[in-house]
Amino acid sequence: MKPYTLFLYACLLSAVCVLWPVRVQAQESDALSEARRAYRYFVAGQGDSLYVMLTAEMQAALSPQVLGGMYAQLEAQFGPLQSEGEWQQVEAQGLKVCLRDMTFQRYALRFQAAFDAGGRIAGLFVKPAPRASSEPPAAFDSRKMEERDTVVACGKFRLPATLTLPRLPEGKRVPCVVLVHGSGPQDRDETFGPNKPFRDLAWGLAERGIATLRYDKRTRVYGKDFVPEGREADYDTEVVDDAVAAIALAQGGLPGVDADSVYLLGHSLGGMLAPRIALRSEEALAGVILLAAPARPLEDLLLEQVAYLNSLAPSAEGRRQEAELKRQVANVKRLGTSAFCDTIALPLGMPRSYWADAVACRPVEEAVRLTCPLLVLQGERDYQVTMHDFGLWRAGLLRQRNAVCKSYPRLNHLLQEGTGKATPDEYQQSSPVPAYVADDLVRFIRTGRVD
């Protein structure tokens, strides 16, 4: 039996938030305590005790005998258990997912249990553990770089920020890259589990002589109060307004920053909106970088992501969620017409104003209007923003002599290296952004090319 077939049963952990799937829970929870108990039953071969912890759907698919014999089967195939990893917990739309790596003599596996709102196990996996990254961890070298606290101010909103600079001779100024996050209430590092891709990029660029400005997202600092009085929730109030303010700060005389050499880098949702941000900036940018940027409507990506995750672990609940999301997305497509139904919930719980902006967004068309150098980068293993999107960028920018496109065969959405199509589990594995990404960014900033 191949390792990837060794799953017990899976309930779709679907409701991965579009463009940024899950959120790590920082402290011990009831679910984690229950996961520890389920794991003890699993290892001890106590199938009867584990069986009573399952949902009715899972009990219908599994027997106590199957549960009780699985661990012995694993040891027979992979040798004795040699070590066990730390427990981790993530969330996916109401499911609390607890996981732990198990290193056997001949293979490393991951034990994973997903708990529903009632505390029952709605999904149970044993599957290959993600491989540890060979990339050395990111390191701050005070001999080569320094960091200074600052604030991005946009109206009444004040967002804590960090300016990362290479160590400079007195009076010297360097290019600066403003980093704009993906969806969700992101911090300035784009922290996800043990990974901090924006911090990695900031340190990597500083080591190579380039400054960066990164800031906590408004939805993180102000929560549901992110919309100014008299405005509505949309892409501008979530992302664009603050990014424009950050660019103005970088161009306004930050210490060590060359005001005429400010670049914009948007990741994920930030990449999709980077052309809009650039067009709205009062001062011209030296260049724009799109990293894992959607080219298609947000609602289409959301539906594609949920369908992909459901294909990994089909379940009745997953099929129900996907069907309901299809109904919601179809209604989003009817916005502005008489066919729109006010009684159908909108995806992600976002208001009508937000989805109206999403439907109207045309990122590729906006990118064509840019005259500054433009770089589009994409991980080929990314399941959230796929090579389909990358193909749309390439096709749309084919005649633009200022545009350069490049994809990375081994990278996923968080710029983590791996093999095969990515899964959400990888995001909980510490894996820094590879050095060659920073190398390409620097090459683009210096020459306008990446080859």
The dihedral built from the CA positions of residue 45, 48, 49 and 53, taken in this order, carries a sign that is positive
Indicate the residue type of 47: G
Nearest to 160, CA basis, from 183, 197, 186 = 186
Residue spans of alpha helices (H) in 208-297: 218-222, 235, 241-251, 269-280
Question: Cβ(438)–Cβ(204) under 8 Å?
Answer: yes
382 labelled catalytic = yes
Q: State the Cα angle at 332 between 329 and 337, rounded to 5°.
A: 140
Choosing from 216, 236, 382, 425, the catalytic residue is: 382
Question: Cβ(124)–Cβ(313) under 8 Å?
Answer: no
Choosing from 14, 183, 268, 315, the catalytic residue is: 268
The three-class DSSP label of residue 289 is strand
The three-class DSSP label of residue 165 is strand
Question: Using DSSP, how many helices (H) and how many strands (E) does the chain show?
Answer: 15, 14
234 labelled catalytic = no
Nearest to 321, CA basis, from 122, 113, 59 = 122
Q: Read off φ and ψ for residue 339, nearest 5 degrees.
A: -80, -10
Indicate the residue type of 79: G
Q: Cα(427)–Cα(184) distance, rounded to whole angstroms?
A: 15
Residue for token digits 């139904």?
341
Choosing from 413, 425, 431, 440, the catalytic residue is: 413
Q: Cα(106)–Cα(109) distance, rounded to whole angstroms?
A: 10
183 labelled catalytic = no
Active site residues: 268, 382, 413
